[in-house]
Amino acid sequence: MVLATTHQLNENRTNQGQLMTSQLVTDSIVELQPANTVSLALLANRYATNPSVASIRILDANKQVLATGGLAKTRQGEVFSRDAIVNDKKVGSVEIVLIQPSIGEILRTQ
């Protein structure tokens, strides 16, 4: 039962991570050039309200951090990242870490 649940949670986390990074890139792309750090911070905080999110980083094209978010930055998880591209030019990227649930958390949900 634990193996089946773990497999399902991993698939769900992968789908959720890919979708969230795509949405965050779409939402933040207009704020990346020129960098509007206030708006980017608000976006990061909005996405970080999801309980699955450990941390979020929005970076510029030079890998400089423009905004961060997340309530569980010390939790282990899977990193999802995606580049923000405008007219074939990379203007930034986003990284989202989704929490990897422990065996205890998996058993508690069953």
This prediction's pTM: 0.84
Residue 105: predicted pLDDT: 64
The pLDDT profile of the chain, 110 residues, written as one tens digit per residue, is 667 767 777 788 889 999 999 999 999 999 998 999 999 999 999 999 988 899 999 999 999 999 999 877 677 788 999 999 999 999 999 999 998 776 666 666 65
The one-character DSSP state at 50 is S
Q: How far is CA 89 from CA 51, 60, 83, 94, in A?
A: 33, 12, 10, 15
Q: Which residues pair with 51 in a beta bridge?
A: none
Residue 48: predicted pLDDT: 92
Which alpha helices (H) appear in the chain, and where do they start and end? 2-32, 37-47, 103-109
Single-letter code of the amino acid located at 58: I
